[in-house]
Structure 1
Amino acid sequence: MDVRGVELQVKRAVEPLAESMGLTLLDVELSSEGAGWFLRLYIDKESGVGIDDCARLSEEADGILDGMDPIPHAYVLEVTSSGEKPLRFAEEYAKFSGRNVLISTYKQVGGQKRHEGKLIGLMDGEVVIEDDEGKQSRIPFELVSKARLAARY
């Protein structure tokens, strides 16, 4: 199964539905976890995503996906806000500029493998983040093992 192909197919099918509900479909992620498969739809909206938004899109998208049958086996559909969305593609670093992120690296950068701060963007092959004191750090993009949006409380 071509996971990326399935993700694109689902995105094309569900995106117009999300937009009709006033939502933005940010990403679709199909992943195998343990013995099961999960299809995650990450959504956002200007006034903030509520549980009712997630439930409504889940119910409507489920009907569309049942008709398409893009995944040849059982899976769990999850609709979630962008709150802790993984950043999987370079273009997402510009899209989520200004948001808080948590980045893990394959090896130490600046004496650590875990970096947190406000995302400035991706510049010259480096992820630029800023800490609470306004100090910027640059992390070579090829050293990023995981990156995700991080909720701040």
Structure 2
Amino acid sequence: MASVVDVVSDLVQPIMEHNSFELVDIEYVKEGKNWFLRVFIDKEGGIDINECALVSEQLGEKLDTIDPDPIPHPYFLEVSSPGAERPLKKETDYEKAIGEYINVSLYQTVEGEKQFQGYLKELTPDQLTLTVTVKTREKEMTFDRKNIAKARLAIKF
């Protein structure tokens, strides 16, 4: 049996392609007593609320026609932008982020820390290199990609 995320991904992909949108991520999570089906979309130049509403309406209609219902619990459907601190999940996300300021969370500490922010300088299949600022000095740090728990774009203040 396919997971909820897989079913929703298959349903939303034609909507994405038709509108030249990008599917960033899908979450099906329980928060408190409620279940949420969250679909994050984007496009070059950013997505707006009307485009989110369009996808929500079209996806909702498709979900309502499936019998038997592939989603086991009542849920709230949310379609939104991934935001300014967009997660980096796919390889193409990382490739687009070269030269950008990002945040990296690690599974295991490096130099006593598990979180780093810096400019993504290089990317290979096994590693990524950030230019980080420590106090007033810049230095390059290379991380094994298998040690990266999460990565996202970051806003530098």
Which TM-score band applies after superposition, normalised by the shorter structure? 0.7 to 0.9
Give the letter for the 1:109 counterpart.
V
**1:10 corresponding residue in structure 2:** 8
Distance in 1, matches of 2:7 and 2:71, equals 10
Secondary structure of the residue that 2:58 maps to in structure 1? helix
The 5 A counterparts of 1:123-134 are 123-131=124-132
TM value normalised by structure 2? 0.75
Structure 1 position 106, deviation (Å) = 2.7
For residue 144 of structure 2, what is the aligned residue in structure 1? 140
Which deviates more, 108-117 or 45-54? 108-117
| TM-fit CA distance, 1:85 | 3.7
The number of residue pairs the alignment matches comes to 151
Q: Is the 8 A contact 1:86 1:147 kept in 2?
A: yes
Percent identical pairs in the alignment equals 38
Q: Give the Cα separation in 2 of the matches to 1:7 and 1:95.
A: 24
Structure 1 partner of 2:102: 101
Tell me, what secondary structure is at the counterpart of 2:73?
coil
Query: Following the alignment from structure 2 to structure 1, what is the Cα–Cα distance between the partners of residues 47 and 155?
Result: 13
Check 1:61–1:150 CA distance in 2 against 1; reply closer, same or farther (3 A cut).
Answer: farther
User: Which structure has the larger Rg?
Assistant: 2
TM-score after normalising by structure 1: 0.76
CA RMSD of aligned residues (A): 2.8
